Amino acid sequence: MTRRPHARPSATVRLLSQVTLAGLLLAAAGACGSDRAAPASPGHRADDPAAPAASASAVSPPVATPTPPLASPLASATGTALPSAAPRAPRAAAPSPATPAAPTSIPGIDVSKWQPSIDWRQVSGAGYRFAYVAAVGSYGTNPHFRAQYSGAAAAGLYRGAYFFANPTIGTGTADADRFLTLLGDVHDGRTLWPVLDVERHPTLAACDGISPAAWTTYVRAFLTRVASRAGVTPVIYTAANFWRTCLGNSTAFARTTRLWAAQPRTLSPQPFAGWLRLTFWQHSTGAVPGITAATDRDAFFGTLSDLRALVVPRP
C-alpha cells in the first residue's frame, strides 16, 4: 500500500524554538489528526473509492456478459436472468419498426460434429424447443448426424437440418440432392424447414474466392431444387457482413425465403438485404445442459404455434 507523503512543518512551527517538550508532543498530535480522511458526503458517485457502501437495492448488479433480451423461455433454458432492453417504465415503450416484433421467443440450439455427445432429454428439460443439426458442415458430412437428428426428435424437440454451402466444390442443385438424400423422409410431422448455411469456409479466401454472381447462382439453384423436392423453400442462415460483401447485398431472396441471422454481438438483431423480419437468431455460444461442448444458442421469433407452422407438411 502506498503511503501518503507527510506535510512539511509550517514556518511558524520551525520558529518555535522555546516550546517545551510537552508542547511539541501536542503539536505533533494535532498534525497527525489533520491527515485523517473526512467522512464521505452523500454526494459521492457510486464508483468513488471514498463513497459509502450502497445498499443492494440501490445498485444494479454488474453483467459480465450481455445476454440477449429475449422472452422468459430463453431465461429458463439458459439459467440466466435476462436484463431488460431498457429501464422499466410505467408504460411499455412502443417497439422500434426496425426491431423484430415478437411477443415471445422460443429457445433452441444448433449442433454439429463438435457436439459429439448429447443428452437430448436434458436439453429438452432445460427448456429448449428446437434443434438444428448439421448434415454437412465446413468439414464435410457430420459423422454424428443421424444420432443427433433422431435423438432430438425422440426427446420431443422440433428438429431440422442444415447444409454448409460450398460453391467451390459443387453446384447448388447437386448439393441439394445430396442434402435431401442424407435427410431421408422430411414429412414426419416434426421436421422443420431445411436451412442453407451461407458463410465463409474457414480454410478458403474471403468469400471462398467466389464472385457475388456465382454465390447468388449457387444459392438460387440450391433453394429451387429443395423446394421442388420437399415442397418448402429452405431458410437462409447468414451474417449481414458476409451477405453484403460476398453476395452484393442481394435482395433476390427476401420475398421467397426466411432469414436466420448470425448476430451474436448485439442485443437488438436487425434484418437486412430486403428481409423485413428475422425468423431465427443465433445470439450466443455457451453452456447447454446435456452437452459438454460449447453450443450455439438460438431463438425463434414467434410462438410455439408459429414454430409448428415451420414443420414440413405431410404429403
> Which residue segment(s) compose the domain that 188 sits in?
111-301
Residue 178 binned pLDDT confidence (cut-offs 50, 70, 90):
very high
d(CA 122, CA 9): 73
Least confident of 7-21, 166-180, 239-253, 282-296: 7-21
User: Is 251 within the bounds of a domain?
Assistant: yes
Q: What is the pLDDT of residues 301-315, one digit of tens each?
A: 999 999 999 999 988
DSSP track, 236-249: EEE-HHHHHHHSTT
User: Is 70 within the bounds of a domain?
Assistant: no
User: Is 313 within the bounds of a domain?
Assistant: no
Residue 267 binned pLDDT confidence (cut-offs 50, 70, 90):
confident
Residue 76 binned pLDDT confidence (cut-offs 50, 70, 90):
very low
Q: What's the total number of domains in the chain?
A: 1
User: Is 4 within the bounds of a domain?
Assistant: no
Q: What is the pLDDT of residues 33-52, one digit of tens each?
A: 333 333 333 232 222 223 33
User: Is 15 within the bounds of a domain?
Assistant: no
User: Is 225 within the bounds of a domain?
Assistant: yes
User: Is 246 within the bounds of a domain?
Assistant: yes
* pLDDT score of 150 more than 60: yes
pTM (2 decimals)?
A: 0.69
Per the listing, cell 420437399 goes with: 230
User: Is 58 within the bounds of a domain?
Assistant: no
Residue 283 sits in a domain whose CATH number is 3.20.20.80
Q: Which three cell numbers stand for residue 33?
A: 489528526
Residues belonging to the active site: 110, 197, 199
Q: What is the pLDDT of residues 90-105, one digit of tens each?
A: 333 333 323 334 448 9
For residue 145, CA distances in Å to 113, 115, 186, 243 come to 8, 10, 15, 27
